[in-house]
């Protein structure tokens, strides 16, 4: 191991660049649908050794060391994000004649931008770098801060945060309930980096002991929650039906058979329940499933009333339009509607956090002024809601709606989550085809259930649709690309879960502790070399 570490540290030029990219790319194997848990141990071990190679030149000026560390982290991030997000380009191939030109921007441009955060992580770590296990803490601090910043800067995009690689199964998801995604990320980087200590053997015993303790606590807390927290429904709760129509995205965009698409959703909704099972109280359709402006199509509402049985509620994704003054363009919202068996709209909630270049174009006016019409022509046209509206059903069940990728943002969930009895996530991942994208999205949505202590009701056009309990366990669901319906009673929520404020406090305590360890180690190294 020492010999291998030495070779990695001494790499330079093209070989160093190639290894940094490859190390990041290999780490993406820890993400769904692959779930190779050990992949990130190899990735971060190599990254530590590559960082050690930079630290072996203490005579270099501070700015030069920061620049080298930044470039190394950026290369690592480029590999990780290209390997983990290449499937984004599939959305542009749905209308390839119009948007294929933007494929390099999606496959390489976005990863190159996101990799800047990992460059920042390694730069910060280099300031606290030492020769023992303290350098693992330095790397943990850098990545913990960088992933937190990535969740909100430039609208935020915390997709595939490192912490998700440490939470592939419910047993390993429970830590998120106590310390949140970014707290788990910080601790995970330390643990993933621990094998690097075998390369130099400095701080080996203490570092491995600490990493082993953290990992044992991670598993132990998970086992404790899974064996002591009861989320079993009592048989009297709300029955939901998830409708998964599996409609090809190109068909949805053509708008030539909107009536047929609508009737397909209704036909699935009207399927009889299995023998001995209760009928659904609530039927859920995916994001933008209604191909009309509901408020302008009374016939569609009448058809819904014909299909729904007395007392049933339909929750469906649709576009909502809002007209302003004469001469002003109407506003369109990506919304979810609640409709009763009389065809009456009981409530609606609009998407708050829109997808850049998917639902709106950032700086559209500025781009138009500069003549960049090709970017402005990208799919979009939605307006973001100022606030999120909860949906309260007639039976008093209250849903916290998250539309599409809103489910990947831990910070998107506000204090009003306390009023909710379940999270509702409707999405349309058919844009991305049979790629890792829908599987990654599903894992991240499950983590929101664990963090909040609420069950998750998730409905997706092509999948993965599922009812998930507050411990992240799938109660029932439909596999990707499987057309049909599934009925399930909504599980009970967990009592006494940490709230978002407590998780944030725990996150910052972890970051501060790691910083303290790294700082003390760095001071000790300086004293030893003076």
| Residues annotated catalytic, as ranges | 287, 351, 404
Q: List the structure tokens of 79.
A: 């590999």
DSSP state of 109: I
Q: Let me know if 384 is exposed, middle or buried by CB neighbors in 10 A (0-12, 13-18, 19+).
A: middle
Cβ-based neighbour number of residue 191 at 10 Å: 21
Supply 492's token pair. Answer: 């009970």
Task: Answer whether 392's CB lies under 8 Å from 421's CB.
Answer: no
Q: Taking a C-beta distance cutoff of 8 angstroms, is the pair 322, 331 a contact?
A: yes
Beta bridge partners of 99: none
| CA separation for the pair 146, 161 (Å, rounded) | 10
Closest CA to 42 of 4, 85, 82, 86: 4
Measured CA to CA, the distance from residue 43 to residue 456 in angstroms comes to 32
Provide the token pair at 405: 């990728």
The set of residues, in sequence order, having a beta carbon less than 8 Å from that of 435 and lying 6+ positions away, is 86, 87, 90
Helix (H, G, I), strand (E, B) or coil at 283: strand
Contacts of 415 (CB under 8 A, 6+ apart): 499, 500
CA distances from 86 to 138, 169, 270, 408, 437 (A): 30, 24, 38, 18, 9
Name, in order, each residue with C-beta under 8 angstroms of 82's C-beta and a sequence gap of 6 or more: 25, 107, 108, 111
What 3-state class would DSSP assign to 256? coil
Report how far Cα 426 is from the mean position of its chain's Cα atoms: 14
Distance between CA atoms of residues 390 and 349, nearest Å: 7
* Pairing verdict, β 456-460 and 422-427: parallel
**Positive or negative CA dihedral for 266, 267, 273, 274?**
negative
CA-to-CA distance for 458 and 260, rounded, in angstroms?
24
The residues with which 338 forms a beta bridge, in sequence order, are 315, 347
- How far is the C-alpha of 9 from the C-alpha of 49, rounded, in Å? 6
Tokens 């933008």: give the residue: 288
Note whether 30 and 37 are within 8 A (CB): yes
């Amino acid at each position: 191991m020492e010999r291998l570490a030495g070779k990695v540290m001494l790499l330079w030029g093209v070989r160093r660049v190639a290894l940094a990219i490859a190390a990041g790319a290999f780490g993406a194997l820890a993400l769904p649908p692959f779930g190779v848990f050990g992949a990130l141990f190899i990735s971060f071990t190599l990254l530590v050794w590559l960082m050690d190679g930079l630290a072996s030149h203490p005579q270099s000026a501070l700015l030069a060391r920061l620049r080298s560390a930044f470039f190394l982290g950026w290369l690592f991030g480029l590999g990780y994000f290209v390997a983990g997000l290449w499937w984004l380009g599939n959305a542009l191939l749905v209308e390839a004649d119009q948007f294929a030109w933007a494929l390099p921007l999606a496959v390489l441009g976005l990863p190159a931008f996101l990799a800047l955060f990992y460059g920042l992580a390694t730069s910060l770590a280099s300031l606290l770098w030492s020769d023992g296990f303290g350098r693992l803490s330095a790397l943990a601090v850098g990545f913990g801060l960088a992933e937190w910043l990535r969740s909100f800067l430039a609208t935020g995009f915390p997709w595939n945060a490192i912490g998700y690689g440490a939470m592939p199964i419910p047993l390993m998801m429970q830590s998120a309930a106590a310390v949140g995604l970014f707290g788990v990320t910080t601790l995970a980087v330390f643990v993933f980096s621990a094998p690097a200590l075998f390369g130099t053997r400095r701080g080996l015993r203490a570092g491995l002991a600490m990493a082993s303790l953290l990992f044992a606590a991670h598993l132990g807390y998970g086992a404790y929650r899974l064996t002591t927290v009861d989320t079993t429904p009592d048989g009297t709760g709300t029955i939901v039906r998830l409708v998964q129509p599996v409609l090809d995205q190109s068909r949805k965009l053509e708008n030539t058979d909107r009536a047929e698409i609508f009737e397909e959703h209704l036909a699935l909704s009207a399927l009889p329940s299995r023998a001995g099972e209760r009928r659904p109280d609530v039927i859920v359709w995916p994001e933008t499933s209604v191909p009309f402006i509901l408020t302008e199509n009374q016939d569609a509402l009448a058809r819904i009333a014909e299909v729904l049985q007395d007392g049933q509620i339909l929750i469906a994704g649709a576009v909502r339009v809002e007209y302003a003054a004469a001469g002003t363009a109407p506003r369109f919202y990506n919304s979810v509607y609640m409709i009763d068996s009389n065809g009456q709209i009981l409530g609606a909630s609009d998407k708050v956090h829109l997808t850049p270049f998917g639902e709106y174009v950032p700086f559209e006016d500025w781009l138009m002024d500069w003549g960049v019409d090709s970017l402005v022509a990208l799919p979009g046209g939605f307006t973001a809601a100022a606030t999120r509206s909860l949906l309260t059903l007639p039976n008093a069940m209250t849903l916290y709606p998250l539309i599409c990728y809103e489910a990947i943002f831990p910070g998107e969930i506000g204090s009003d989550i306390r009023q909710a009895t379940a999270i509702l996530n409707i999405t349309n991942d058919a844009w991305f085809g049979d790629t890792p994208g829908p599987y990654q999205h599903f894992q991240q949505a499950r983590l929101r259930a664990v963090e909040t202590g609420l069950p998750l009701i998730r409905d997706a056009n092509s999948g993965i649709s599922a009812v998930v309990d507050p411990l992240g366990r799938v109660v029932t669901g439909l596999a990707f690309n499987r057309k049909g319906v599934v009925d399930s009673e909504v599980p009970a929520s967990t009592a006494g879960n940490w709230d978002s404020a407590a998780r944030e406090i725990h996150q910052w305590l972890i970051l501060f502790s790691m910083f303290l360890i790294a700082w003390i180690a760095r001071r000790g190294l300086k004293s030893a070399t003076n």
